[in-house]
Amino acid sequence: MRCVWLGILLGLLIPSLAPAGDATVPTRIRVVSEVWARYTEPDGSGLGWDLVRAVFGPAGVRVEAYSVPYTRAVGLVQRGEMDAWVGSYADEVRSGVLYPRWAYDADQICALGLAEQPEVRLDNLGSFHLAWLRGYAYERYLPNLKHYRVIQRRDGILSMLTLRHADLFIDARPELEDVLVHARDPSAFRVSCLTTLPLYLGFADTAKGKALAHLFDRRMEELVASGELRPIFERWHYPYPFQEGAHATTP
């Protein structure tokens, strides 16, 4: 009889001995992003939101998506008011955030300028006057820059270039293509692609943020190995950024 009771007692105790890492995984993640067309739309649609849900949803973590301007998104995460933001470059923010090992996507970084200008390449970029949006810090990732300024909004970019207030506007290719849609004569402009930068979720430097970043890396390892993310990229007509057999960090 004593053995029977011992067996029952052990059966009751075993579930409480689950690995601490699983027990401490949060049940929700608050993710914030700038609004990018077809990527992080305010209604929760887009490639970026679908990728975040694919990572966390099957692990039992409910994704709550919020839309704010980029610099505010970073500040909310640094203060611990949000758990992560979408679309950070590697080590873009140096304090108050945690970066996972795995990138989840990659940006093709390009320059938009007048078609009549000389050819734009990464090795001659320093000879042009550049502009980009506040908060994007491209000076850390593009070489030998000498003349650049930061602007607040994408409104008026085509006029800025036409009036030669800047030679080139730097951004990810999809955003530049959205700008060109509004050009009276798109052939007057040229998009020159320069480099590719991996994209990360930036997590809050909190116990919850650390647990979520750890889960993110584990889930990305599984999803890339299984190929489950590829149909999501295909659905939104974005290039698949991961090499076959990828193991770590950058796509």
Q: What is the rounded distance in angstroms from the CA atom of residue 140 to the CA atom of residue 146? A: 12
- pLDDT per position as a tens digit, 152-174: 888 899 999 999 999 999 999 99
First CA to last CA distance, the chain: 59
Judge whether residue 15 has pLDDT over 70. Answer: no
What is the reported pLDDT for 244? 65
Antiparallel, parallel or unpaired: β 168-172 and 105-114? antiparallel
- pLDDT per position as a tens digit, 78-130: 999 999 999 999 999 989 999 999 999 999 999 999 999 999 999 999 999 99
- pLDDT per position as a tens digit, 26-47: 999 999 999 999 999 999 999 9
**Is the pLDDT higher at 12 or at 160?**
160
Q: What is the percent of the chain where pLDDT is above 70?
A: 88
Of 216, 130, 111, give the one whose Cα is nearest residue 173. 111
Band of residue 4 on the pLDDT scale cut at 50, 70, 90? very low
The type of residue at 99 is: Y
Residue whose token pair is 């951004």: 171
- pTM score, two decimals? 0.82
What is the reported pLDDT for 248? 56
What is the reported pLDDT for 20? 35
Which residue intervals of the chain are DSSP H helices? Answer: 2-13, 20-23, 47-56, 70-78, 157-162, 173-180, 207-226, 230-235
- The gap from C-alpha 133 to its chain's centroid, in whole angstroms, comes to 16
Q: What is the rounded distance in angstroms from the CA atom of residue 147 to the CA atom of residue 130? A: 6
- pLDDT per position as a tens digit, 169-218: 999 999 999 999 999 999 999 999 999 999 999 999 999 999 999 999 99
